[in-house]
Amino acid sequence: MSLQLDARQRAMLAEMGIKVWLPTAENKSIPPETKVVGKAAPITQPIARPIAQPVVETIAKLPTVERSLPSGINVMNWIQLQQAVSTCNACGLCEGRVSAVFGSKLLAENPSNANWLIVGEHADDQEEFESQAFVGPAGELLDNMLKAMGLQRAPDVSQPIAKPQAFVTHAIKCKPSNHRKSTQQEIQTCHAHLKRQIELIKPRVILAMGQSAIQSLLKESVPDIEKMVLGKLRGEIYRYQDIPVIVTYPPSYLLKSAGDKSKAWRDLCLALRVASGPQNAGN
């Protein structure tokens, strides 16, 4: 608010020695004086950084491998069954396989004159290479065991029959990798091949050598067979489709545990008594 003075009042103030300030006309072009305290920092806008997008790796979709047993195994003849085993891809054991092991030899026809069936666990490296079951030191021990029982392996059909014969095979026709044990799924899958071998051979007695062979043959008749140790199963007569089954140690185990050879011999003697018993007279 400005003080309005007339000429007389200004003259009186001048006589009193009071200076009178007279405001000039307001200049609207000059901005009002502002008090600056310190130097203000320049205002900068935050730099927008790009937001990293998640990296999505594109994984090539592997072709699905159809794994299944060939149809009609239950009606195959001996030659057809050999071919089915050699080309089987029903489980992962076929990957990297050198060969499947059908038995002691690839006979031209089923050994119907084999009164005995020897079932081992699965092929090892040498057996896979030679495509025969029970070769090497374990095979030599088995041959000595059979000889002591008055038996021989089922020979080629072109050879004369001198002794009662035993056909040898494995419950698992392929070799598990890294010398591991066969899985329950592998035992179950390959059982179809063993089942058909038994139907064609019609043995008087089956000798199950090793845990995988025992599980394959007795899973349906012995509850919790996969939880039972071999030593607890010895000395009994079991049945597979009404065929007597005797369990014992595999030759590969006996090579490392010679103290159990006497137990294995008792198992073989039991099998001999069963094979010659009246219950098998008609077989």
Output DSSP code: residue 53. Answer: P
| Residue 176 near residue 93, CB atoms below 8 Å | yes
- Whole-number Å distance between alpha carbons of 146 and 9: 150
Q: Among 72, 137, 68, 135, which residue's Cα sits nearest to residue 101?
A: 135
Contacts of 166 (CB under 8 A, 6+ apart): 114, 115, 116, 117, 118, 146, 151, 152, 153, 154, 207
Q: What was the pLDDT predicted at 55?
A: 47
SS3 58: coil
Q: What was the pLDDT predicted at 45?
A: 61
The predicted model scores a pTM of 0.71
Sign of the alpha-carbon dihedral angle for 112, 208, 131, 78: positive
- Whole-number Å distance between alpha carbons of 84 and 111: 18
Distances (CA, A) of 256 to 49, 137, 178, 181: 70, 11, 19, 17
Domains and CATH numbers, the chain: 73-277 (3.40.470.10)
Low-confidence ranges of the chain (pLDDT < 50): 1-2, 30, 55-65, 158, 281-283
- Whole-number Å distance between alpha carbons of 204 and 275: 6
| Residue 263 near residue 234, CB atoms below 8 Å | yes
Output DSSP code: residue 278. Answer: G
- Whole-number Å distance between alpha carbons of 203 and 275: 9
Q: What was the pLDDT predicted at 211?
A: 94
